[in-house]
Structure 1
Amino acid sequence: MSEEGRPDPETILHYVKQQEEKSKGGKLKVFFGMSAGVGKTYAMLEDAQNKKDEGIDIVIGLINTHGRKETAALTEGLENIPEKTIDYKGSKFTELDIDAIIQRHPQIVLIDELAHTNVPGSRHAKRWQDVVEVLESGIDVYTTLNVQHIESRKDVIEEITGISIRETVPDSILERASQIELVDITPTELLKRLKEGKVYLGTQSEIAARNFFQVDRLTALREIALRLTAEKVDHDLHGLLPNLEKSIQWRSSERLMVAVSHSPHSQRLIRTARRYAFTLDAPWIALHVNNGSRLSDKDNEQLAKNLSLARELGAEVITTTDPDIGKALQRVAKQKNVTQIIIGRARKSFFKSFFGKGNLLEVLNEEASDIDVHVIRQDSTIGTPREKWLNLEFTSRPSEYWIATACTLIVAGICDLTSSVLNYQMIGFIFLLTIIGFSLFISSGPLFLSAVLFSIIWGFFFIPPSGLSTFGDIEIGLFLSFFLTALVLSVLTERVRERESLLRHREEKSQVLYEIVRDLATSPFDTDLFKSICNRLNSLVGGQSDILLKSIDNGLIIPHQVELIKEEKERAVAIWVFDNGKIAGWSTDTLSSVNNLYIPLKGFKEIVGVLVFRPQPRRSLQQEEINILQTVCQQVANYVERTFSMEKVRKAEYTNQVEKIQHTILNSISLEFRTPLYSIRGAAKELKNPELAKNLALHNRKIQQIEESSNNLSRVVDNVLAISKLSSGFLKIHKELHDIRGLIDACLITLEKNLEKHLIKVQVAEDLPQIYFDFALMELLLCNLLINAAEYSPPGKTIFIAARFSNKQVLLSVADEGKGIPPDSIHQVFEKFYRLPGTESAGMGLGLAVVKTIADMHDATIEVSNRPSGGVEFSLFLPQNRI
């Protein structure tokens, strides 16, 4: 494929996401009309009755008949899920019961009035959000919608009707619809229905006829509804193409970007960008540039609304920090391959042009000449926020103005005392230096006041001849030039301070994010790590936070000691966010009555927890701070998911290892038990023979055979029980003073039969004192070493047992004259169930594992080595006089 024909990766990703959204969850069918009264609910109920006759499980979630008898008649025979009652300000309201619908889980549910606003206290602020949750549970939804409630058409329809539209639905909901049925009648027929009382009852019909329901307005609304339906059908046509490559060929190569600020006019720009993007079938970006200007709480709230609107309409929302808005737009446009930029028409300002860098359009024309720029007029019905004069802010505390005034008068007084030495030009220069110095410490408002005071004082009291009566044209010119010079210097210095503050804040944010990522990469997985992350996040964003994690295999863990979620409703929201994977709580449209903001920790495959954030009182979050929270959530989620995955892999490996050990144990036990049992059974069977009683020697040999096999079987059982008890940690050690010689003698007596074919040579140092050890456990250890020596050395060979001092320790050693151990296997002999390759003797491979475990319990060291003359030597180093 040529480079020109190669599809853009972001376009492919956008296409794949669209297909995934359409394939998962239930299907949405919208009964769409130009206004109320066209018969949308009636048509929906008719279709529902037909589906019911076809045997489809269809129920009513919520229907508003508005008192129309013919509409109410169509609800008969359809199951109606009761609505949920909500108390609000002493009154009771009913809303859609989402949980009841999901629990009932029909094939199709009818939910009327998609644009409806829910009563405060509901789970979601809007009914369309309820519908989305029902769809995501796998239930198909039938709903109704008027054209004036489409968000991207809001501005156009408000201009046509002259009526403010308060309830809207994001265009993405209409895009998600798998089917749109246009319920269309002529404006004349609709007005006739209005007069007959089939639209509104009583006086409402007369009010509607005088305002909204007029022929010209209805005709325009009908045209918009028809055009929107046609655009949706044309847009869905791309999905009919057989494969991705052909589908992408249909897609536009355009990419749009709209500049968003805290102005209410930005909403018009966002809706315009959405309409352009839908028409071009192109992705679009909503960009906000933080240029360091201080925004009020009201401005921050409006900015959050604007960005939320862009996100609801399907934009990729980006925030960036740059003191130069024009350069930021040009930079992001190049990074994202933007072909068209949409901006608002700014009012011309001499001071902005003089102190800034000209009009934004002019900047884009110069620096982004290869990008089309659309300039959208401002809505005259929306008030324009008062712009700050010269970018100066007059919101400082009164104390700052008093301090600025006092410092100005003090400097002027000092200059007055030295006026005999300094001329007025030098004093003016000192005043200018003082203003520059002030700009490093005080804000714009007090700085502006100081500039005014210095100008007045210098003009009236220091420019000769002094006094108001002698203030002529020359003095006025000097006064104005000084004032403008002081003002320009203060503005430029303030701008430098703002840029410095912007860079400092950016550096702090980068440093905190770096520290969080570093901790996630280097710190162990424990509560201290997440406390550290929360503390850093609190210092950066301002508030309190906590991280709730799920258990590896179960649901969300909510510790009782977490202060932020002690209330039951807070806990319920945290669980809902974890179950649904959506942000909720404070400042959102979902479960907003709580005090905290809840953000799900979404990994690549699963949700691993929830971030709980409580802001400082009476404070709203800026978009940049929300981005920081979401960035941290993503980093933490990836880390936790990766840790959980590694733990699951480790557990799976451990389970496989346990299964292999169980298999080995069963095989070994069956073999180890079978040999002595067969021997016992055979000898017992022969003892039943009466002829054997006549041969006393043979009779005694069979009894001895039974006794030896029983001892072997008992030894196997003892080793299995010993390793089980020792590994579990339940066996307690009892140390007392014992003699090593007595231990060796006890073992030789116990193993007399096992060692009768070998020569035993014992060498114990005469001055060896008694030492502390558990006699029973140490006897088991030494017996296993002796049995191992007897099994791996030929009959007639010597087994050496020695005990002596060695480096302030007691060395007990057992050596044989066998073949020895291969060098590559010598480090494995103490492992459970390990046996040397090619071993013919019976055994489970537990004896030496028991030896190693008992040695560790005594704080002793066990070593194994091949003897130069042949055979193996086991050396046990016991600490002296240690209990």
Structure 2
Amino acid sequence: MSRGRLRIYLGAAPGVGKTYAMLGEGRRRLDRGTDVVVGFIETHGRRNTADRLEGLEVAPRRRIEHRGAVLDEMDLDALLARRPEVALVDELAHTNAPGSRHAKRWEDVEELLAAGIDVISTVNVQHLESLNDVVEAITGVRQRETVPDRVVRDAEQVELVDMTPEALRRRMVHGHIYAPDKVDAALGNYFRLGNLGALRELALLWVADKVDEAMRRYLSDEQIAGTWETRERVVVAITGAPSGDHLIRRAARMARRSHGDLIGVHIRPGTGLREGPNEELLAHRTLLADLGGTYHETTSDDVAEGLVAFAGSVRATQIVLGASRRDRLSELVRGSVINRVIRAAGEIDVHVISRDDGAERAALPPAPRRHGSPLSRRRRAAGWALVVVGLPLLTVVLDAARNSIGLPSVLVIYLLYVCIVAAIGGFGPAFVTALASTAAANWYFTQPLYTLRIRDPEHLIAVSAFVSAGGLVSLLVARTARRTADAARARAETEALIDVVGADVGEHDPVGVLLSHLRITFGQIGAAIFVREGDRSWSVVAVDGLDSTPVPSEGERLELGEDHLLTLTPGGLTAADRRVLGAFGARLVEALQRRVLEAAASDAATLARADELRTAILRAVSHDLRSPLASIKASSTSLLQDDVDWNAEQRAEFARTIDEEADRLDDLIGNLLDMSRIEAGAVEITVRAVGLDDVIAAALASLSEPTGRVVIELDDDGPAALADAGLFERVLANIVANALAHSPADRKILVQATSRDDTAVMRIVDHGPGISPEARATMFQPFQRFGDDTSGGVGLGLAVARGFMTAMHGVLSAEETPGGGLTVTLSLPLAGKSDALPLPSPAGAAS
């Protein structure tokens, strides 16, 4: 008897239509003549789902008593006895009632499959065992019912039932998922847009992995060796080199742009010995994980072959390598890993990334001296060592072979040695070698021996030619070395100037970047810029590389315009260095001028905002403040009239008008003062643990409007937030007052208080006309009314609320209520202790 086949409909969240799709598939198979039985279905009261059951045979349920309650479960024995071709079993992750044969429904399904019955089932992504902790981190809810991943992966077909978060929330509002009394709570918690988006991405990625697994199996079964570029996979070679972080970030950007996978690999030598700890490699491994990549290690005697083999095993489409640090000679002797990877990669693209200039930038090489050797001190020392040690040894060897070689051969060997010394040590050691070689050839190998006299004129010509050739070779090598040093210096200066030109691209304030480039380029310990304050005093503008406060009188000095001074420590620059330094100085002057202009522009913008605020306040004073004053004046004047006999009811009405308009005036003035404090950054707060239930009660009590329409929902644990109690109360009062003013009289205002991770969250949900997406972008700015009447205030309530929340290091945001209206969310740090904590008020809290 063959095993049954499993088909699963996977969803991102409840309500996406998994059960509906499963029943649709059952009806299609039934229409084709297949024997289909519904083993267990849960409609959750959804009419459309119940309608899909029509015409399908439904197996009877087994009723189990547990602790006084009767629970309905799938009757596994009845279904096995019925033996349909296909069984529809809903909710694969369900936990069976105590007393059932199996603890989990997926175990019941396993038995049905073993009996040869095909099963179609449903499951949500949050029930997969491997994703349980991820889902809890996203939603704050831990799923107790889970399914082992292997059960779902072993299914013959897994079909994703997909729906956008917005569409799912609309279904919720229309009552297609939960009962109306549960809709608001669900939308504010599990069914938030962010949660649904993250769960949808998890489901898509999980299904994509399963599809990828199936494709790998197909490629293996069909013995297809090539790479199918169905998904970009970027493999980055990690060596533990200092510039590796630049390489990993570059590879991560490449993978992100192509929506591909980032895979890091470190090739260990195949010696059987494990490398010692490498802190750089550990740091690169951590960085790779932070950027969403995976880390692998493999062993190979040949780095290039091992890297290409690994890339092929993971079906990589791109390989990213860092530029080689080897010199030319080393590459010629040992070969180039990069070239071997390119030749062996085949269809895989290979990217060679240059080293990070910021991390690898070297100082300018010293300018070659006009008089003296342009070579380094080490090379000159090596040349003199060849003169002192090598030439005597060569002479001893030639003397020992006197009987085998003649004078011409000796002179050629000495000339070759002179060329070697010239190439290494320059003109001085080579010229001395030429003279000493001439003397040695004359003394040991020219007749008469052991004298400096030359008997044969031909030998005299040969020795003279040798001396001339040796001196000429030494001179040519010295000139070549000087020109090479000049070219290296020119190239370094060009690179430094290119860095200067491009240093401020994309930088908000390039002074610090330029200063750092300057210090590294000239090999200085520290660099600083000072600005003149008065006739003799200077203050530091920027500093790089120095731990202590710099002094203007120390180090090399360069004036930057009339008011700025650049100092380099310890200094010691050459004339050539100062020429390049002049270019740096010009760019620094431009950057400093840019900083001054930006500061002036910022001050001008601040003044402009202040003028706008002042104009708005004057407009509010001239109109909105006069209205309550006019009402108070009219009512009080009427009460003071002696010629009119007002009855008690009329007098009471005048008194109520005065009282209401005085309260309104007090609110207006209070908001104006609060806004002024926020704009000035003068909000003083004391943060402590504040119970959300206490804040809600105090805020509602402070409102003059009736609050009977406000419905409060609190978590059982009564969360507390770190906030200033008075400011938090004002914020909530402003938000609730707005909701009451703009909601229909027959609609409730919902205030929810809950905790999520380390955050206390309060949501105020109304079902009024709402605010358009365009208006939501400016709704928290001062004096915004959005076309409503002017009787309610000057449009400062939401701006004050945002300013107070920012001052308390909280977040205030707004979104559309599904079905119409506005939902305002207040988020503050969750209280962990009740100690008072004074915090500085951030400047510009309302901005």
Shorter-chain TM-score: which interval?
0.3 to 0.5
The TM-score normalised by the length of structure 2 is 0.47
The TM-score normalised by the length of structure 1 is 0.46
